A and B are shown apart, each in its own frame.
Chain A
Amino acid sequence: MTENILQISSLEKHYPARSGKDVPVLRELDLSLSPGDFVALRGPSGCGKTTLLLCAGALLRPTAGSVLIDASNPYALSAAARSAFRAAHVGFVFQNFHLVPYLSVLDNIMLCGLAAAPQPTLPTRAIDMLDKLGLSHRLHHRPAELSTGEQQRVALVRALAGGANLILADEPTGNLDAANSRILLDTLANFASEGGAVLMVTHEPSASDRAFTRLDMRDGCLHSC
């Protein structure tokens, strides 16, 4: 049996409401991702997709249930250890890219080095990936000097270069045109094919079609379709 990269069981997440009563967002949610999985997650706005990504990415402690990443429970770790764990195991891609405006393309990617133990292969891997994504001439440019598509590709390289085998993407194509969306989705599909796992929140049919599996979120639970 291959080991799951992400194993979520009976996940509950409640937010405190102003009335004082907790509002449940995620209910008895189960999800597992193995190497090679590329899952598209769909659902109406406000149904809890981002909440699920944050819980899965060791950023948001669940109310109940368990989250295992590479067979470890990140929420059992101290804050510092969880940071280091996140750096080594999880990569995030955001709709708004969230590149650091004052760092060059290369430095935005090298930022991972501040988190984890020094990774001597990081620069070569990063340059290699940037080259594959057609950014080799942009290494020393600031994010503001790049197109949105280029910016999202840089964010993607940043998520991948740290050596994570779980990528969590929150509407990564939301701001991209068709051509750039295709490049991004191809890269994610390649990453999964090479043994990684991808959980991608998306609204766009073209994006969910590119994923290997599609799940719908309703009433805090997942339904395959």
Chain B
Amino acid sequence: MTVCQLVTRELAYRKWNFLLAILAVAMAATTYLLTSALLKSTDLTTAALVSRKVLDTERAMLRLEDEMRKSMKGLGFNIYIFPENQDLGEVYDKGFASKTMPETYVEKLANSSIITVNHLLPALTQKLTWPEQKRSIILIGIRGEVPLAHRNPLEPLIDPVASGQIVLGCELHQGPGFKPGDKLSLMGREFTIAKCHPERGSKDDITAWVNLSDAQQLLGKQGLINEIQALECNCVTIDRLAEVRKDLLAILPGTRVIEIGSQALARAEARLHAGATATQELASVKAQRSELRVQRETLAALLLPLIALMGLLAVIVLTLLNVRERLAEIGVFLALGIHSTTLLAVFLIKAVVSGVLGGVLGAALALLGIAVCRERLFDGHAIAALLDPSELAWLLVSMPVFAASAAWVPSFWASRRDPAEVLRHD
């Protein structure tokens, strides 16, 4: 007769106690494995979602960039150059700069070797009240194109307005009934109307164009301008504004350079916007997933200790019931000369066996549970990805230790019974 034989006979005899102990251990093991699989599935899905989102974004950005490059190929773009220290907010707000810069700036640019800029148009723009007509107008003094020194003279883009002449927007000629050839008075000076524009539906309709030197005289700003338009700029890189800005600032340090709205600009903005949206979406996906993770972690943090405690208590109670039932037996064992350490071993081996079998059963139940609820609870991840073999091995080793620890106190108590005490009650 060996200790193991004794244990197996007793296990077979008191099946229910043993089966319940196995179930208690299995319950703890299954809960542990399922919770761990659930957390792992959350992480796997998060990783997959995030990487897909990142990939999508990259692809969308590439497509936009590609489209932009195609659409801007050979397409010139227009910029404004404003004086140093000009508040751009004011420009966007009022439509023109309040600061001025010397008219010589445009010559400086024209005589430079700049290649990104093609047409240069200096102007002096101001919004003012037309005293004779008692209405507000935008007065623009223009000089026409300043030819770039290192280029062949290019075809001028805008007809210059000769000195003493004026071009009127629709609002300005329709009301008073002005016609080309008529004379009018602006701020006490007489102008001949050179042209009357039809309605354009923009601020051009309240604009009056005069020769730059006339405007400078009228506004008392001799030799000064407040903007230079550079039209049909050409760049090689996608970040063209930065490129042209770099060239311009090398020649006119401190000036402010902005791009005038165009289809290409809208596309560039769309690209930026798409990038920002994608980043935002990615962040929101990440936030959602991490919230889910926290929820599930909280659940695990509550559930796991609870189940472990219940398993522990169940094994303790079952062991206690078992040893109480066996007190007379224990007395006989001790009377027969079996040492209390041997008895302790008998009880602990029993607990270890229930731990081993409970661990195996728990693992099997967890596998089954994952297989059955793979789609519903585990986002369809493979079992191999959800249950780590090392984790399984660790569990199978720790469950017997867990059961033996739970059985320790009642077993120790039982093995230290005084046989005289037990046998006297005959």
B337 is an interface residue with CB less than 8 A from chain A: yes
CB pair A114–B341 under 8 Å, yes or no, is no
A36-44, A52-60, A127-135 - the one binding chain B:
A52-60
Please determine whether B1 and A114 come into contact, CB atoms closer than 8 angstroms: yes
Tell me whether B1 and A107 are in contact (CB under 8 A): yes
The proximity string for B residues 1-43 relative to A, scoring 1 for CB distances below 8 Å and 0 otherwise, is: 1110110011011100000000000000000000000000000
B88 sits at the interface (CB 8 A): no
Chain B residue numbers with a CB within 8 Å of A98 are 328-329, 331-332, 423
Minimum C-beta distance from B314 to chain A (A): 23
Chain A residues with Cβ below 8 Å from B13 are 101-102
CA distance A114 to B12 in the complex (A): 20
Q: Which of A57, A107, A111, A113 has the most CB of B within 10 A?
A: A111
Nearest CB of A to B385, in Å: 46
Q: B185 interface residue, CB < 8 Å from A?
A: no
Min CB–CB distance B322 → chain A (angstroms): 12
Give min CB distance, B60 to chain A, whole Å: 74
Indicate whether B76 reaches chain A with its CB closer than 8 angstroms: no
In the complex, chain A residues whose CB is within 8 Å of the CB of B339: 79-80, 83-84, 115
* Segment 159-206 of B: residues with Cβ below 8 Å from A: none
Residues of B within 8 A of A102 (CB): 9-10, 12-14
Closest chain A CB from B48 CB (angstroms): 55
Q: A83, A103, A107, A110: which contacts B337 (Cβ < 8 A)?
A: A83
Q: In the complex, are the beta carbons of B426 and A50 less than 8 A apart?
A: yes
B423 touches A54 (CB 8 A): yes
| Cα-based distance from A50 to B339 in the complex (angstroms) | 22
- A50 surroundings in chain B (CB, below 8 A): 423-424, 426
Any B CB within 8 A of the CB of A75:
no
B342 interface contact, C-beta 8 A: yes
Q: Quick one: closest A residue to B2, CB to CB?
A: A114
Known A80-B341, A114-B342, A170-B426; contact A54-B420, beta-carbon cutoff 8 A: yes
> Are B337 and A86 neighbours in the complex by a CB distance under 8 Å?
yes
A144 to B354, CA, bound (A): 27
Q: How distant is the Cα of A112 from the Cα of B336 in the complex, in angstroms?
A: 6
B9 touches A107 (CB 8 A): yes
- What residues of chain A lie closer than 8 Å to B329, measured between beta carbons? 98, 100-101
Contact residue range for chain A?
35 or more
Q: Which residues of B contact A60 (CB under 8 A)?
A: 420
| Contact B338–A115 (Cβ < 8 Å) | yes
The reply to whether A112 and B337 form a contact with Cβ atoms under 8 Å apart is yes
**B333 within 8 A of partner (CB):** yes
Residues of chain B contacted by A111 (CB below 8 angstroms): 1, 6, 333, 336, 338
Chain A residues, CB < 8 A from B423:
50, 54, 59, 92, 94, 98, 170
CA distance A98 to B44 in the complex (A): 60
Interface centre among A94, A113, A162 (most CB of B within 10 A): A94
B419 at the interface (CB under 8 A from A): yes
Distance in angstroms between the alpha carbons of A113 and B339 in the assembled complex? 12
Residue A139 lies at the interface, judged by CB distance under 8 Å to chain B: no
Residue of A nearest to B328 (CB): A98
- Whether the pair B1, A113 counts as a contact (CB closer than 8 A) is yes
User: Known interface pairs A54-B424, A107-B9. Does A59 touch B1 (Cβ–Cβ under 8 Å)?
Assistant: no
A85 at the interface (CB under 8 A from B): yes
Partner of B336, one of A79, A95, A101, A115: A115
Closest to B336 in A: A115
Q: How far is the CB of A127 from chain B (nearest CB, A)?
A: 14
A96 at interface (Cβ–Cβ under 8 A)? yes
B334 at the interface (CB under 8 A from A): yes
Chain B residue nearest in CB terms to A82: B337
**How many Å from the CB of A120 to the closest CB on chain B?**
13
Report B-chain residues with C-beta under 8 Å of the C-beta of A11: none
Q: Would you give the 0/1 interface string for B335-373, flagging 1 where the beta carbon is closer than 8 Å to chain A?
A: 111111110000000000000000000000000000000
Give CA–CA (A101, B9) in the complex, Å. 10
Chain A nearest CB: distance from B311 CB in Å? Answer: 26
A84 closest partner in B (C-beta): B337
User: How far does the alpha carbon of A95 sit from the alpha carbon of B13 in the complex, in Å?
Assistant: 24
**Chain A proximity of B282: nearest CB distance (Å):** 65
Contact, CB under 8 Å: A86 / B1: no
Query: What's the nearest-Cβ distance from chain A to residue B171, in Å?
Result: 112
Assess whether A29 is interfacial by the CB under 8 Å rule: no
19 contacts between A and B (CB under 8 A): A50-B424, A57-B335, A80-B341, A83-B338, A86-B335, A86-B337, A87-B338, A88-B337, A94-B426, A98-B328, A98-B331, A98-B423, A102-B12, A103-B1, A103-B6, A107-B1, A113-B1, A114-B1, A114-B336
Residues of B with Cβ closer than 8 Å to A?
1-3, 5-6, 9-10, 12-14, 328-329, 331-342, 419-420, 423-424, 426
Residues of A participating in the B interface, judged by any CB pair closer than 8 Å: 50-51, 54, 57, 59-60, 79-80, 83-88, 90, 92, 94-96, 98, 100-103, 107, 110-116, 158, 162, 170-171
Q: A100-B332, A114-B1 are known; give 19 further A-B pairs, CB within 8 A.
A: A59-B334, A59-B419, A59-B423, A80-B339, A80-B341, A87-B336, A88-B337, A90-B337, A92-B335, A94-B332, A98-B331, A98-B332, A102-B12, A103-B9, A107-B5, A112-B337, A114-B3, A114-B336, A158-B336
> A-B pairs with the 8 shortest C-beta distances?
A87-B337, A102-B13, A115-B337, A110-B1, A60-B420, A86-B337, A98-B332, A83-B339
